[in-house]
Structure 1
Amino acid sequence: MMIIKQYEGGKKVNVIACDMKLSHSTVSTIIKDKNRIPEAVKGSAPLRSTMIMKQRTGPIHEMEKLLNIWMEDQIQKWTPLSLFAVQLRARSLFGTLKERAGEDYSQEFVASTGWFKRFKK
């Protein structure tokens, strides 16, 4: 898109090729396909969105926020954290939040190793 904008702005193909460190033929091909390229760009995801993740809601989301705060507090106190301690705290927080949510909330949470890896990420 930058090449197309520069070309439409009046820059010569050779100048664009030198500025972008591309060959003359590559720039010419891009300019030749300038009608198709904007449509392809509209259909693609932005470069910043490299990962699509499901956003959790409800007690699990709240539990993860509270767990993060608890972990930061433990780190400030120089308290060593183990996987078991984090999982235990996560289950405890989730149980409390699930009780507050009421009987209508039926989702379960087991604090698995896979959950912990995703939580860390």
Structure 2
Amino acid sequence: MSTISTILKQKEAIKALKSSKGITIISKRFSPIIEEMERLLLIWIKDREIVGDTITETIISEKAHAIFTDLKEASSGGDAGESSTEPSSDDFKASRGWFEKFKKRS
């Protein structure tokens, strides 16, 4: 009953979610900063592949963290109202687990 009630209360938010291509189950919603970081990271990876650079997990993780930090600074400096809606974005770590899930999503 509790789960059904929660789903019904969040019906509009759930319908508004955009899932990535190929994703059929939405179990966790990422903050907008993390979604934008992953989008920009994919563009960067494609650019590196076109150039012919070798890309390792460590390089991708470092770049992800750098992009995230830049986006976070830009959003907190430019729009103070959004920082209160993204409490989980403060603790992003480009861990091995994140990397494995990123590979599956991408």
61-70 or 100-109, which deviates more = 100-109
Task: Sort the Cα spacing of 1:57 and 1:49 in 2 relative to 1 into closer, same or farther, 3 A.
Answer: closer
Counterpart position of 1:111? 94
Residue 55 (structure 1) aligned to one of 29, 32, 50: 29
Give how far 1:57 is off. 3.1
Per-residue Cα deviation, 1:14-72 (whole angstroms, up to 9, x for no partner): xxxxxxxxxxxxxxxxxxxxxxxxxxxxxxxxxx9864442323111100000000000
Task: Sort the Cα spacing of 1:117 and 1:99 in 2 relative to 1 into closer, same or farther, 3 A.
Answer: same
Counterpart position of 2:71? 97
**Cα RMSD (Å) of the superposition?**
2.1
Secondary structure of the residue aligned to 1:54 is coil
Q: TM-score, normalised by structure 2?
A: 0.61
109-118 or 51-60, which deviates more = 51-60
Count of matched residue pairs: 74
Give how far 1:97 is off. 0.3
RCO higher in structure (CA 8 A, sep ≥6)? 2
| Greater helix content | 2
Structure 1: runs of 5 or more not aligned: 1-47
Secondary structure of the residue aligned to 1:88 is helix
Is 1:69 the equivalent of 2:43? yes
Q: TM-score, normalised by structure 1?
A: 0.54
